[in-house]
Structure 1
């Protein structure tokens, strides 16, 4: 995969396509009709949403906040990074950095991989030391779905804020589909991909999607090269049984940009386009996922599903990651010379059985199952991360990593997390317009941590029980109301490290109460949703006021918020998709040590959490074959430290597209990102350094189907 080229991928895909066509007669044309009430809607109220429940419920029937974005919508908005789709949904924002894989998200007042779970086709990617590096491309995705609020009953520990599910394109038995795209843009950025799927015969179907990206980047250390492959073969020996073998792989030589130093806490225009990493810096990720899925209709009303999977992630960072202007502001101090390697493996299996029937004379669907996985991490680094250098930022000589005499890179830790869970869900039709949805999950998690340098070994077992119960009332065919209570757990630190380094600490606990409404407006082909929620998370580490040297699990934080979403086509050819989220996030009880003294942070806003977010995307087909579209994304200020003495400013990012359908099989889109050319921080440290978004960029993309 390291040496895959787009040409080779395209050749392999087209060869498979030709082989399939040669061995299978041409299928009749199938007309696909858009079933969504509101075009471009992230609501999809009458579509099944497998992320919000395993019960086959539509978004309207689910007593929770669920959103989705289809592949067509991602293509229209020219979204190439998987997480870019998630942050266009209500209340979801990003806090990327090279250290977290560039994928960290925030939702409902809780930030990071320990609170917002990410999955591929419902299979959880376990975070290793706060890092997830796959998926990164939208090309093989059929949709991105988000369940907001506690999701531990479905996906286990680490999902109190939300769960994001990246749904891949699957083999098709009904017809052949082929598509490809090529793109070129600012800073010598080129992208391209090809995808095919269809039947080989009545028993076998396939899918294969491959893409590659390359960019010099605006700054010298912002360039990247990425290749992505997603393939599957499905075998259907009879109408009741389907076996699918899938492989997903990604190779990412990512950007080495770790931020821009601030001058007296403010952005200096003379520094914002410069780079300060060493000349042999690297950020590399290699991810592989192998899966086998089985779906069996054992009897009328009885379905059995099983998925076995094996995942590997190899990651390597070697950079100087901290840049600070000296007091005179004439030189730049570089330190944090870090070299870190992750060798992670995850193997697991999930089995569930669905029963359709009646309970006390009422229609019922019941799902029960067992899930098991084991994740192992071998961590190598050069802690305590010594090494430093002083450079002239305006006459920059990058130097080498070894030139700063950093600490030696040695094996640090071997950790294993084994988890077994049993879970159940049920939906009961209480009356013609009432549904009761409930779920329960019990995990048994065994963590074994071996510090290789000191020889210290520690182990801990966790047995959290989480659940949710919700009621849905269809007031009329257009409007439904719901209420839900749910619980969740989060780790105190990375999933493959003992919480705060001590086996005596437990998982944090969370609970949420949510009420909401969802509805449609047929006159304007519209959909809308509204949700109110309150989440409390306790058992946070907090310093004992009577003994500051002792950390106790007595802290608490909470969030209370509202989320609104609306999508419609008020007149034919004009579509609009908009959402707004407002929340109040606070540390309710939290003390931290400052200069040996416990200081209360109660009443402060948690770090990295915007309390206001909003998105809008609107497009207009002004003449036949042409569409102009404009989007805006607003992210409110985020606190950069627990004392709330420094923050990352609010920003509004504008995007625009002009699309031309040259023919039924060919489309060309000109897109402009960050249309207003604003400078804004995606993440950063308190008053010292910001990770800046790219300035204005232009991209021309051609897409074809065949």
Structure 2
């Protein structure tokens, strides 16, 4: 498994069925689930064996649907990446875990392609407000798990893309026991770092948790490196029946020679430069500083009634100076493109947001075979972003006070000094956003049949440099589960979503304001957990339709006001099939296999084109096929486990229509665990394959996958 941006389908059964590879240390509890049951005839005991595929890296309930539900009883597809899986893979940031979610692949930075649609928004603990402003990639140190709710989620979360939604669940104080752990890591490319965490019940209902993470590593692109510091703490007070949780987190990240674009390619997808090529100077940087405070109240005032409310504040600043590739050219006129002009960009993003949300869940039995649960909730978000930027474009030849060109084949850094550039004043834009939603969801269980229905009403307002747009929208969800047996269930759902047009596109001179895009999904399938969970599978088919897409008006400047017009006539349809399997080949050997097929096409437009991310009739970075496998064998007597995985991603197209070649990469790890000590030796991109994970525009190229890398991580638990 490649840890940076490599695989997108390893251990994929974790997604829909919550399974993943086994841990190295074997105990009797791992192999026996309950079980000593008196047979009543005096002839001995009955042992019920639970499969490792069911036990390991599997959550008993998912929360992204806001009604805690067992995966087998849910009408939704929710992928869950647990803390154990994050640690077992040595994952550090969000790009490291995309491979674990079928139907999700890398697009750029923290953005993904989800079931054919580009998706970038991230929720934390069910609320809007991403502390990673702009182009920083979320880190995983302070996360308990990552949940990805597949398909439109408008009824539960409000505005969002129809392909799915990430919800990052943060670590919180745990009153059950004292826990502490120290970890250190060393690797190639001058990689080193460490972390420490402690969780301590303090008595009288108080529990405290604290964590500190630091890592310094050289990135494989020329001049690029990363330094990340996260300080995280929490205090919980649980006298019962009310629980109060206070949290504070500080994020500091310094990325040298960033922001990183891709490496230029030809139309066949072959790199025109080394995969290590970097358009940035050594003095370029991207620095993030972000502070988060969060408070949460949980209560159970009555039997069957649970209430929670969360308030979150986020203040983030991202500052960056970088050289953007602006145009490829032939520097010596030999017919071969061998250099690029560059543009220097000096940017600052300040984001401040408040998020709040509350939920009440009431469950009750109507009869022995009929029960009901009702969810009532609301959420509110206000955010302000101030962007200040200035830029200066260079030429094909060095010139005083301008950014110089850079060779693709023999780049020489240090000849362009931003301190000498003739930069003008900053251009400042300010955007204020507000989102408010109220929703109700009902779940009725009648014997083996579960019926779910919900409705939500949203209001939203955007103010971009004085251009104001506000509107309201209603979204719906309906689902059903039929449990054929305790091990097999059929499921189906219909859900809708919407997403406001970009505030910058609401200019009345261009035909604005424009109504939001609209999306819906029809999905159905079968889930199993056979032989006590030793064989788990999920098969689903879906159709997602996205309408009201903003695109260029074929009539041009229809209003004769000097600004070309837009129109919101457009439709895109995504169809797909996902199959996941996790199986115990033996008590010590686990295999997971996953396959995803997706076909996303333009199914309606006005002839004017211009639909975002459209490449002809296809869409950028939307592979039609993904296949991943992960197998792990452990030797309990030695405390050892060996793992091997592979990931295949089919051909893609870049935003400029250039081919992104298919790739297959392999990874391996060796884990030793005994008592409180755990050590992992990890090799990513085992055969050092050169490949691209996704494509951008032709002047910036494709994002290269990481070369072979090795690291050793050692941890000690107290």
TM more than 0.5 = yes
- How far apart in 1 are the matches of 2:429 and 2:31? 54
| Separation in structure 1 between the aligned mates of residue 242 and residue 711 of structure 2, nearest angstrom | 44
* Match among 462, 473, 495 for residue 464 of structure 1: 473
Give the equivalent residue in structure 2 for 1:179.
181
Say which SS state the counterpart of residue 203 (structure 2) adopts. coil
State whether residues 161 and 499 of structure 2, in contact with CA within 8 Å, keep that contact through their aligned partners in structure 1.
Answer: yes
**How far apart are residue 134 of structure 1 and its match?**
5.9
Q: Could you say which structure has the greater relative contact order, defined with CA pairs below 8 angstroms and 6 or more residues apart?
A: 2
- Does 2:408 correspond to 1:397? no
Could you tell me which residue of structure 2 aligns to residue 193 of structure 1? 195
* CA shift for structure 1 position 284: 1.2
Query: CA deviation digits over 1:7-48, x for unaligned, max 9?
Result: xxxxxxxxxxxxxxxxxxxxxxxx999989653669977711
Q: 1:491 aligns with which of 500, 510, 516?
A: 500
How far residue 448 of structure 1 moved from its aligned partner, in angstroms, is: 1.2
- What is the aligned counterpart of 1:416 among 432, 439, 442? 432
Paired residues of 1:543 and 1:590 also in contact (CA < 8 A) = no
SS at match of 1:159: coil
Of 326-335 and 34-43, deviating more is 34-43
Q: Are the counterparts in 1 of residues 643 and 669 from structure 2 also a CA contact under 8 Å? A: yes
Rounded Cα–Cα distance in structure 1 between residues aligned with 2:118 and 2:613: 21
Out of 68, 83, 99, the position equivalent to 1:87 is 99
In structure 1, the residue matched to 2:374 is 366
Instruction: Label 1:613 to 1:352 Cα distance change in 2 as closer, same or farther (>3 A).
Output: same
**2:645 equivalent to 1:631:** yes
Q: TM-score with structure 1 length normalisation? A: 0.86
Residues 153-191 of structure 1, C-alpha deviations (whole Å, 9 max, x = no match): 111111311112222222111211111211111101113
Partner of 2:129: 125
- Aligned partner of 1:589 among 604, 614, 620: 604
Cα drift, residue 253 of structure 1:
1.1
Name whichever of 62-71 and 555-564 sits farther off: 62-71
* Correspondence 1:322-333 to 2 at 5 A: 322=325, 324-327=327-330, 328=333, 329=336, 332-333=339-340
Partner residue in 2 for 1:353: 360
Match of 1:679 in 2: 690
1:473 to 482, 497, 500: 482
Within-5 A mapping of 1:231-250: 231-236=233-238, 238-250=239-251
Partners of 1:203 and 1:32 lie apart in 2 by 32
**Structure 2 residues without counterparts, runs of 5 or longer:** 1-28, 34-48, 395-401, 558-563
**Aligned equivalent of 2:345:** 338
Q: 1:528 aligns with which of 529, 537, 562?
A: 537
Provide the rounded CA distance (Å) in 2 between the counterparts of 1:127 and 1:211: 16
Residue 600 to residue 550, structure 1, CA distance change in 2 (3 Å): farther
SS of equivalent residue, structure 1 residue 408? coil
Query: 1-side partners of 2:131 and 2:216: how far apart?
Result: 27
Correspondence for 1:109? 116
Tell me, what secondary structure is at the counterpart of 2:278?
coil
Shift of the alpha carbon at 1:634? 2.0
Which of these residues, 282, 292, 296, is aligned with residue 295 of structure 2? Answer: 292
Asked if 1:64 corresponds to 2:76, the answer is yes
Q: Give 1:126 deviation, angstroms.
A: 5.6
**Closer, same or farther in 2 for the Cα pair 1:527/1:331, shift >3 Å?**
closer
1:127: Cα distance to partner?
A: 9.7
Compared CA separation, residues 32 and 574, structure 1 to 2 (3 A): closer
How far residue 249 of structure 1 moved from its aligned partner, in angstroms, is 2.4
Q: Deviation string for 1:353-388 (max 9, x for gaps)?
A: 222235799421111122111000111011586754
Query: Which blocks of at least 5 consecutive residues in structure 1 are unaligned?
Result: 1-30, 97-101, 451-456
With normalisation by structure 2, the TM-score equals 0.84
- Distance in 2 of aligned mates of 1:355 and 1:538: 35
1:317 corresponds to 2:331:
no
What does 1:634-653 align with in structure 2 at a 5 Å threshold? 634-641=648-655, 645-653=657-665
- Cα distance, 1:298 vs. partner? 1.7
Query: By how many angstroms is 1:279 displaced?
Result: 3.1
SS of alignment partner, residue 75 of structure 1: helix
Q: Give the total of aligned pairs.
A: 650
Indicate the residue corresponding to 2:86 in structure 1. Answer: 74
Mapped partners of 1:474, 1:553: distance in 2: 42
- Deviations 1:650-695 (Å, cap 9, x if unpaired)? 222221101112x211111110011121112233334442221220
Aligned partner (choices 541, 554, 568) of residue 569 of structure 2: 554
Task: Pick closer, same or farther for the CA change 1:420–1:558 going to 2, 3 Å.
Answer: same
Q: Is the contact between residue 433 and residue 463 of structure 2 (CA under 8 Å) also seen in structure 1?
A: yes
C-alpha contact (below 8 Å) 1:528/1:567 kept by paired residues: yes
Of 529, 537, 554, which residue of structure 1 is paired with 2:546?
537
73-82 or 183-192, which deviates more = 73-82
Q: 1:261 touches 1:271 (CA, 8 Å); kept in 2?
A: no
Residues in 2 aligned to 1:460 and 1:385: alpha-carbon distance in whole angstroms: 34
Task: Select which of 304, 308, 315 maps to 1:305.
Answer: 308
Q: Does 1:380 align with 2:388?
A: yes
* Partner SS state of residue 527, structure 1: strand
Q: What does 1:437-448 align with in structure 2 at a 5 Å threshold?
A: 437-448=452-463
Asked whether the equivalents of residues 480 and 492 of structure 2 are also in contact (C-alpha less than 8 Å), the reply is: yes
What is the aligned partner in structure 1 of residue 282 from structure 2? 279
Q: What is the CA–CA distance in structure 2 between the aligned matches of 1:60 and 1:190, rounded to whole Å?
A: 41
Measured against aligned partners, the alpha-carbon deviations of 1:175-223 in whole angstroms (never above 9, x if no partner) come to 1111121111110111311111131114101221221110122233321
Which residue number corresponds to residue 55 of structure 1?
A: 67
CA distance in 2, matches of 1:261, 1:321: 12
CA distance in 2 between partners of 1:202 and 1:33 (Å)? 37
Q: What is the aligned partner in structure 1 of residue 677 from structure 2?
A: 666
CA contact (8 A) 1:185 1:699 kept: yes
The 3 A distance-change label for structure 1 pair 202 and 373 is: same
Distance 2:589 2:499 in 1: 42
**Worse overlay, 256-265 or 363-372:** 256-265
2:666 equivalent to 1:654: yes
Contact 2:50–2:533 (8 Å) recurs in 1: no
Aligned to 2:142: 140
